[in-house]
Chains A and B, each alone.
Chain A
Amino acid sequence: MIASFYPRDRHRHPQALTPDYKSSVTRSPRYPLLSIDQTTSERTGPTFGHGDINPGDNDLLLNHAQTGDPIGERIIVHGRVLDENAKPVPGALIEIWQANAGGRYRHRNDRYLAPIDPNFGGCGRTLTDDTGAYAFRTVKPGAYPWRNHGNNWRPAHIHFSVFGTAFCQRLITQLYFEGDPLISLCPIVRSIADEAAIAALTARLDMKTTASFDAIAYRFDIILRGQPATPFEHQLEGN
Chain B
Amino acid sequence: MPGLADDLHETPSQTAGPYVHIGLTPDAAGISIYGGDLGGAIAGPASPGERIRVEGVIFDGTGTPITDALLEIWQADASGLYPKPGAQTDDDFRGWARAITDFTTGLWHFETVKPGPIVEGNGATQAPHINLWIVARGINIGLNTRIYFADEAQANESDPVLNMIEWGSRRATLMAHRHCDTPVYRFDIRLQGEDETVFFDV
Query: Which residues of A are at the interface with B, using a C-beta cutoff of 8 A?
Result: 1, 6-10, 12-16, 18, 21, 23-31, 33-42, 44-49, 51-54, 57, 63-64, 79-80, 82, 84-86, 95-97, 105-110, 121-123, 125, 159, 161-162, 165, 167-168, 170-175, 178, 188-189, 191-192, 194, 196-204, 219-226
CB distance A14 to B141 under 8 Å? Answer: yes
* Known contacts A27-B191, A97-B22, A204-B2: A225-B29 contact under CB 8 Å: no
Residue B179 lies at the interface, judged by CB distance under 8 Å to chain A: no
Q: How far is the CB of A169 from chain B (nearest CB, A)?
A: 8
A24-B138, A27-B137 known; A109+B18 contact, CB < 8 A: yes
Interface window among B44-52, B59-67, B150-158:
B59-67
Cα–Cα distance between A81 and B13 once the two chains are bound (Å): 15
Minimum CB–CB distance for B202 against chain A, Å = 5
A173 to B8, CA, bound (A): 16
In angstroms, how far is the closest chain B Cβ from the Cβ of A115? 16
Residue of B14, B61, B142, B144 with highest tally of chain A CB at under 10 A:
B14
Which of B2, B68, B76, B86 sits near A178, CB closer than 8 Å?
B2
Can you give 19 contacting A-B residue pairs, CB < 8 Å? A10-B201, A13-B141, A26-B191, A31-B170, A38-B202, A41-B118, A41-B146, A46-B96, A51-B90, A123-B26, A159-B19, A161-B24, A168-B144, A170-B72, A173-B13, A173-B14, A191-B15, A199-B3, A200-B2
A40→B66 CA distance, assembly (Å)? 30
Indicate whether B165 reaches chain A with its CB closer than 8 angstroms.
yes
Q: Which residues of B contact A170 (CB under 8 A)?
A: 72, 133, 142
Q: Which of A53, A172, A200 has the most CB of B within 10 A?
A: A172
Alpha-carbon gap, A18 to B129, bound state (A): 31
Q: How many B residues face the partner with a CB closer than 8 A?
A: 84
A106 CB contacts on chain B under 8 angstroms:
22, 29-31
A interface majority secondary structure: loop
Interface residues in B188-202 by Cβ distance below 8 A to A read: 191-192, 196-202
- Using A84-B8, A189-B14 as known contacts, list a sample of 5 further A-B pairs with CB atoms less than 8 Å apart, ordered by residue number in A: A16-B141, A108-B103, A172-B14, A173-B13, A192-B14
Min C-beta distance of B10 to chain A, whole Å: 5
User: Does B161 lie within 8 Å of A39, measured CB to CB?
Assistant: yes
Q: Decide yes or no whether B139 CB sits under 8 A from chain A.
A: yes
